[in-house]
Chain A
Amino acid sequence: MAEFIAEYGLIILVALKDTLVMVVLSTGFGYLLGIPLGIVAYVTDHGSISENAAVNAVAGWIINIVRSIPFIILILFLIPYTRFVMGTASGTRGVIFPLVISAAPFIARMVESSFNELDIGVIESAKAMGATNLQIIWKVLLPESFPSLLRGMAIATITIIGYIAMAGMVGGGGLGAVAINYGYYRYERPVMNVTMVLTILLVQLIQVAFNIIVRRVDKNR
């Protein structure tokens, strides 16, 4: 036990920290891109507040094209662009860019579906009160779907954790890379087990935390 900690303790701790940094940054930037994209997809939809078939189609294409590329392929495809943007295509830094690109369209769809859960009557009544489209987005759409957006964020965050582990295959950092490099290539079964348990705990923790937050935030229960 002491031997194991001495040999791998630091490696695993650093990997855990790397995973956390990647989760936070890529989820954050993913939402920065995903929310506007989701808003555009929603408001330009047929029968919505700013119906526009052309813009809606373009938003739909972007989302669908990126979502249809398997993440592991997307990482490899993006390597030159990742180098350009991040300065490197490997390690923690090198993973964040493809993660954001991959997560944003997925997040956009989640955001759009949260908006679609809202009663269209509420949006129409805001319009009848003289709300502009921007006011509808800012004062009705986002606050009213906030609990649902948070629920979606839990799913998005956990999906991103899975993607990060995958990125470990191709030079990314984090727990996934440790599991692959030590647990798999070096047949260090205990390392595999520990990273597995840590990942499970991390996912559980995130889900429980989001559940508690949503329960506090959602006034429509």
Chain B
Amino acid sequence: MIEIAHLTKEFDNPDKTKLGVLRDISLTVEDGDIYGIIGMSGAGKSTMLRLIGLLDTPTSGTITVEGKDLSTLAGKEKIDYYKTIGTVFQGYNLLMQKTVAQNVIFPLTLSRGYDKKAARERVAQLLELTGLIEKADVYPSQLSGGQKQRVAIARALATDPKLILCDEPTSALDSLTTQSILKLLEDINHRMGVTIIIITHEIAVVKKICNKVAVLEGGVLVDNGPIHQVLDSEMHPVTRSLFGREED
């Protein structure tokens, strides 16, 4: 469970970062959720994911994961925390000089004295799960966008994380590929019980796989909760336009 309380993030140099600010955000992510965080660009979505992923620290407020306040983690604890989460990026961020299998095994090789045999078995399993078994020895430059994202997802799962953070995972993909990637994420959530937080600007993504949604606008949380509940409520104009646009 992730509890976010009064989370605020300001930047000393807002022009440089291009990241949106956050103002007093509170929300709870339960185990097994697929939580969608949606908003226009600059709404603060990426900032939020960076804070949860401990790539940045909040100005004020707390993020508590499994009872641990992230701001108290340092050194080894921080590294250990990183290993309990997987992250999937819009730009895939694969190692281009390494094969698919080497990319997937990479997070495991970061732990000293890892079990090589177990790691290889794990990689085979993950390649099977993501439909990449024939691509094991291929380099990423020879893969399509959808296949690259599958590699990134397999890699994110390598350390058997409880939580996967997805930063616009389908924004660079066509709609058909988007469907298959979302299906894969949904599968992972159902079968392995992995909690997923997914930030996106596409309402289709939220509708397709999320059970909860948080709508950000200018760094403020304007709507939040289970999807049907948000849809039934009197939605904030931004939420309405986001959900409405799809039906046009």
Contacts and interface: CB of A to CB of B under 8 A. Distances in A.
Interface of A: 119, 121-122, 124-132, 135, 139-140, 143-144, 146-147, 218-221
B98 interface: yes
A152 to B, nearest CB: 16
Nearest to A129: B107
Nearest to B138: A219
B98 A143 contact: yes
Nearest to B111: A130
B97 A119 contact: no
Interface of B: 53, 55, 79-83, 85-87, 89, 91, 93-98, 106-107, 109-110, 139-141, 155, 159
B95 A221 contact: no
Q: Is the interface of B mostly helix, strand, loop or mixed?
A: mixed
A129 B83 contact: yes
Given A124-B55, A220-B139, A220-B141, A129 B95 contact: no
B60 to A, nearest CB: 23
Contacts of B83: 129-130
Contact of A219 (B87, B89, B139): B139
A144 B82 CA distance: 22
A219 B79 CA distance: 30
A139 B109 contact: yes
Contacts of B53: 128
Given A122-B93, A143-B95, A143-B98, A127 B55 contact: yes
A139 B87 CA distance: 18
